[in-house]
Amino acid sequence: MSSYPPPPSTLRSPSDPPAAGDGQGQRPNPAYADLYHAYQRAFDSAHTLEKALDPPVRTAGDAWVGPAARSWQNDLETQRGQLKKAASQILWDIYGALSKLPPFIPK
């Protein structure tokens, strides 16, 4: 598994009410809610994205042999590594942006 940020369940949900005493004069931040839901969707699909090239990598050597096949398989392995890094980076970028937004804003 890649080094993913904390799952969305560890963050404050936009549907949670403000803390007692802090809720007066505040409303949910729509930007926080949108980003939170985007983070949930991205987190839920990151493992699928990360493993998207696994089947071709497993079957590449069986379907095609020779120097060109080995070169192609090496390129595919490189692309698979980059895809895994990208999945993790997408999550960290969204998490970083989300952590800078307050879940509530003044009315």
Is residue 97 a part of any domain in this protein? yes
Confidence of residue 1 (pLDDT cuts 50, 70, 90): very low
- 10 Å CB burial of residue 106 (0-12, 13-18, 19+) is exposed
Domain count of the chain?
Answer: 1
Is residue 31 a part of any domain in this protein? no
pTM for this prediction: 0.80
Tell me the per-residue pLDDT of 12-66, one tens digit each, with 9 for 90 and over. Answer: 999 888 877 665 788 999 999 999 999 999 999 998 988 888 888 888 767 778 8
- Tell me which residue range forms the domain holding 104: 66-107
Is residue 75 a part of any domain in this protein? yes
Distance CA 91, CA 74 (A): 26
